[in-house]
A and B are shown apart, each in its own frame.
Chain A
Amino acid sequence: MKFGASTFIWVSPFSNKTLDLIGKVKDLGFDLIEICIEDPATIDTAAIGKRLAKEGMGATVCGAFGPDRDLSSDDPSICEKGVAYVKRCADIAHELGADIVVGPMYSAVGKTRMLSPEERKAQRALAAANIRLAADHAAKRGVRLAIEPLNRFETDMINTVEQGMALIDEIGRSNVGLLVDTFHMNIEEKNIPAALRKAGKHIFEFHACSSDRGTPGEDHLPWPEIAKALGEAGYDGAVVIEAFTPEIKEIARAVSIWRQLAKSQDALAGDGLRHLKSVFAKAA
């Protein structure tokens, strides 16, 4: 089992100014770093690739989806920007030697509206068609896409594993699967281990987040059962801690983090990793 940490724990946006984070994440004991792409223009894949190689670190790529790159927007030009963005993320992944792009790529985060079943169906079909375009581009580069269900306060579209699987089915591409995140699952799933078993081979990435987005293990999630269920689902991908720094106001506001959730962001990642390594070793 490989363990990763998201750049969102410490910085936003990631750029050449924050390259040292790669060494820090390695020193904390992680095998890979999840590089979050808020603006592809700040991403210098040559410099990042060089640093990854020097530190012997792997990478995954996470997309950030705001209203200007919405793959199910009513405005076709915004959909186009969304598709171009996911394609660019796939290129970045390929250039970094990563094989996956993750994120809630079906809509803009924070878009929560009341829709009729017909409107919802149309929005889902539009998202599926646009993700398919990006998926075919990614497939040629050996890159997979993982769609992330979000809780009800962040999206009206895909809140549960079941809804995520229906969308994947509609997309109909073998390089498209799910990113499951325990923070969102805690709010939306009736039974987290059962949902993981149900998602089975469709789980392409796993975000190990505490119920309050603080330190995994210092929360009320049933971690041993979660680790066991992931094993039963046949998952052998990365276990990635995602959290957000309250120090950067824009990102804190975007994900509703109003307080420090751990002693420090280093402690969140380090203590969380120790907990997860112990839980997954016992479940193996």
Chain B
Amino acid sequence: MFKYSYDALVYYGEDIAKSIGRVARFGYDAIELVGEPAKQDAKQIRSLCQEHDIAVSSICSIYSGVQRDLSAANPANRSKAVDYTKSVADFAAATGAPVMIVAPSPVGKMAPESDPKQEWEWAVKGIQDAADYAAPMGVKLCIEAWNRYETHFINRLSQCIELMKAVDRPNVGIMGDTFHMNIDDASIPDAIRKANGALIHIHFADSNRAAPGEGHLDFKPILRALKDIDYKGYITFELLPATSDPFGTLRSGGGREFFDDYTRQSIDVIKKIEAEL
């Protein structure tokens, strides 16, 4: 039996009480929270989750902008990015999330600013610092790759593993995201199998980033691969509207299907496939 969660990222701008209520109503085990600790009340979230009998699966950290760049050429910005990552670890601990996402370079940064080898080392050091801070709280960090249009830094699971090995901390693993993997991993099930032992989190979305069933991904071999590696983490649906600026779309009132409709559809479709395995 897999555990399921839904990423609150697409419930952009919504009151968290409503989000938690919806996820619980459609049968999820947990919710993934957006990693903006300054804008959220961990205590309130914890009590809402208790009330609805769901857990917090994970924190979706938001690496955007120069001050959240763990491989920034500017040391002040690197340091701010480490501070941000530590603040997400605190938020994870306070909400009871076992896992938080970490990314070595911010979304939309499409070229290194200095020597790529140096930037790699900065990312390694930054993730190590945050991981050592998170370890006593029992929080794990998972490294995420994004598709080629969102980062130049790492695009595939094999690159996540390479970075994870360089970081070399027991509380650091990797995650996958089927939307990104559809573009940059030649085979999603093969990439999952090769990540055996390293994969501690996964995002599901169909090929067009909508709910499973809306695109052309075959989730059966993907679930089978997760079963084969005895995956124990959550399957978290991270869905976003089909534009280069999904938050702009949500801000302007688009993407209403990502609320009730896709929250219901995602778990229904995948649980049905899980039952067929």
Contact = CB atoms under 8 A, between A and B. Distances in A.
Interface of A: 112-114, 151-154, 156, 159, 186-192, 210-212, 214, 218-220, 253, 256-259
A2 to B, nearest CB: 27
Contacts of B243: 112, 114, 152, 156
A211 B155 CA distance: 14
Nearest to A256: B148
A219 B183 CA distance: 10
A150 B197 CA distance: 37
A39 to B, nearest CB: 23
A112 B245 contact: yes
A187 B207 contact: yes
A153 B244 contact: yes
A114 B252 contact: yes
Q: For chain B, what secondary structure do more than half of its interface residues adopt (helix, strand, loop), or is it mixed? A: loop
B186 A190 contact: no
Contacts, number: 66
B187 interface: yes
B99 interface: no
B242 A253 contact: no
B212 to A, nearest CB: 12
Given A112-B243, A152-B242, 18 more contacts: A112-B244, A114-B252, A152-B243, A153-B149, A154-B149, A156-B244, A187-B182, A190-B216, A210-B186, A212-B183, A212-B186, A219-B187, A220-B186, A220-B187, A256-B110, A256-B152, A258-B155, A259-B155
Contacts of A253: 110-111
Given A153-B244, A189-B216, A191-B216, A114 B249 contact: yes
A112 B149 CA distance: 12
A190 B215 contact: yes
Contacts of A187: 182-183, 207-208
Contacts of A186: 182-183, 207, 216
A284 B37 CA distance: 58
A207 to B, nearest CB: 16
A97 B248 CA distance: 46
Nearest to A159: B242
A170 to B, nearest CB: 21
Contacts of A153: 147, 149-150, 244
A253 B111 CA distance: 8
A262 to B, nearest CB: 11
